[in-house]
Amino acid sequence: MMAILLERAGADYYIYERHHEFRAIGSATGMWTNILPLFEQLGLLEKLMSISKEQIDLSIFDGQMNQIGHMDLRDHIDLTGYRPLCMYRKDLHQLLLNEVPKERIRLGRKVLSILQNQEGVMIRCSNNKTYHGDILIGADGAYSGVRQSLFKQLKESGKLCKADGAQLKVHHMSILGTTGPLDPIKYPRVHEEYGRTGIFIGDNSRHTWRYFVIPDGRVCWRIDTQLESTVFEESESFRVSDWDADAIKVDSELWQHCMTDLGASIGDLINLTPPQAVTKVMLEERLFETWFYCRTVLIGDSCHKMLPNAGRGAINAMQDAISLANAIYDMEDSSPASITKAFKAYHNERYPHAVQDFASSTQMAKVLAGQNWIDSVTRKVVLNYMPKWLSKKTTIKSMRYRPQLSYLAQIESRGSVEALPLKVSKRYLAEQAAKSHAASKSAEVEPKTTQ
C-alpha cells in the first residue's frame, strides 16, 4: 500500500523484498469502514469488494456451543456508508501487488544493515550490494531488520529510549488456513449472501478457535494457543515466524472436538484445506516509542505490532502509509530538515491513534482469546454488563477517523457519523489551481469558427 501511495504521488521509490518470490501467508483479513474511503479514493473499492464478503455479524461461543456474545455489524453502512469486508489475505495481497509496477520491486534483497547521515541513507542487502536513497521506510514487520539496525545505532550512540530496548511479548501461537470451496448443500451457511464470523473459547484449555466466511464458499480458520510465557527471544521468533507452509503438519483428529455453527468442526475444516494453505505464526504485540530517526522511518508492524483480535493491524499499517505519504508529498526538498519535519508530522498524527487501537487490541485479546481467570472475568463483564450505549460510543469514536490522501480528489463523508476533518495538501491545491488557470487560458486563445 505504501508503494501504491508513493506511485500516485509521483515519487521515485523502490521496494526491497527479502524473499525471492512473494509469499502471502495467513488466512483472513478484515477491512473495517475507516480504511475503505482510501480504497474508493484510489479507485480500488470495486475490486476490493469483488474479492470480499460483506460482514453482518460476529458471534462468540463457549466450548459447549453456548452463545455468550454477539456483535451486529449491519448498522455500519448507515453510520459510515460502508460495510466491513472480509477476504482471503492472499487475494488482497495480489490486488495490491497488481497496482505496483514490476520494475519498482527488487526481490531477494534482505536488508542486513543501514547507514545514514546528512547526505543520504544506504542499505546493505543479502545480495552483497548496497543501495542509496533520501529516505528509508521500514515496512518489514514485527521483527523488522530496518528497526533492529536503526535501534542498534541509536543504542550505541546513547539515543535509544529505555522502553524500546525491551523484547516483544508473544501471547499466542496460531495455526491458520483457508479451505477450498465447500459444498453448498452440505454447508449452506457458507454460501449465504453476507459473511459472518464465529469465535469459540475452549473450556478449561488454552485454545480458542474461530472462522471467517469469505467469497467462493471458502472458510478461513484459526486456532490460537495461549502461551505460558509471554517473552520470546527475538532471533528465535524470527525463525518461527518464517516457517514454510509445507513444514506445518496439523493432525485434524486433535481438533474434531472444536465445533462451529457451520455444521463442521475445525478438524473438518482442516481436512478441507490444501496443505500449502496452512501456516503457523506467533502472535506478538509491541508499541515502540521511536518511529523515526534521521532519514529512516518505520510503519506498520515494525513500530506497532498489534494482536489480531480487534482486526486493527493491517488497517493501522495502511493508515500509517496514508499519513506518511501525505507528509512526504508536501516536503519542500530532501534536506534533513524537511525530512525530519515530515516524519514528525507523520508521528504526531498517527501515534495517538496507534496507542488507542493498541489498547483496544490488547483488551479484545483478553475478551476473545484470554484463558486465565482475569481474562474470564474481563470477558464476562464486557459481554454481559457493558452498556450498549457505551459500546456504541466507542465504536463511533473509532469510525470518525477515516483518513484519506491529501493529494487526490477526496471522497465525500457518508453516513450519520461525520468523519474527522481531512487535510488537503497546499501543494495539491496550488497544482489544481495552476491546471485550472492553464485550461482557461487555453480556452481563451482557441480559434473561433467563422461561417
What is the pLDDT, as a whole number, of residue 383?
79
Consecutive H or E run containing 67 = strand 67-72
- Predicted confidence at residue 237, as pLDDT, reads 44
C-alpha cell at 399: 469510525
Of the chain, the end-to-end C-alpha distance in Å amounts to: 55
DSSP state, 328?
A: H
The rounded distance, in Å, linking the Cα atoms of 278 and 177 is 4
Question: Looking at residue 449, what is its pLDDT?
Answer: 54
What's the CA gap between 121 and 142, in Å, rounded? 22
Cα(297)–Cα(373) distance, integer angstroms: 40
Query: How distant, in Å, are the alpha carbons of 325, 332, 403, 429 from that of 280?
Result: 33, 45, 33, 48
The span from the CA of 298 to the CA of 303, in Å, is: 6
**Length of the chain, in residues:** 451
Helix (H) or strand (E) holding 232: none
Domains contained in the chain, CATH given: 2-399 (3.50.50.60)
8 Å CB contact between 278 and 248: yes
What was the pLDDT predicted at 245?
46
Residue with cell 487490541: 361
Is the alpha carbon torsion for 86, 88, 93, 95 positive or negative? negative
Residue 435: predicted pLDDT: 86
Name the β-bridge partners of 142.
none
pLDDT on residue 448: 56
311 pairs with which residues across the strands? none
Rounded distance, CA 200 to CA 208, Å?
6
Instruction: Determine the Cα–Cα distance for residues 284 and 269; give it in Å rounded to an integer.
Output: 25
With H, G, I as helix, E, B as strand and everything else as coil, classify residue 189. helix
3-state class of 111 per DSSP? strand
Cβ count near 329 (within 10 Å)? 21
Query: Cβ distance 121 to 130 under 8 Å?
Result: no
pLDDT reported for residue 239? 44
Grid cell for residue 62: 463457549
pLDDT for residue 437 = 80
DSSP 152: H
171 contacts: CB under 8 Å, gap ≥ 6:
226, 227, 230, 283, 284, 285, 307, 365, 369
d(CA 323, CA 420): 14
Backbone angles phi, psi at 173, to 5 degrees: -110, 135
Q: What is the mean pLDDT, run by run of 10 residues, along the chain of 451 residues?
A: 98 95 85 96 98 94 90 91 95 96 96 95 96 97 94 94 87 90 96 94 84 96 81 47 56 93 96 91 92 98 92 95 98 96 98 95 84 78 76 84 96 94 89 85 64 48
Q: Is 264 left (phi over 0), alpha (psi -120 to 50) or beta?
A: beta
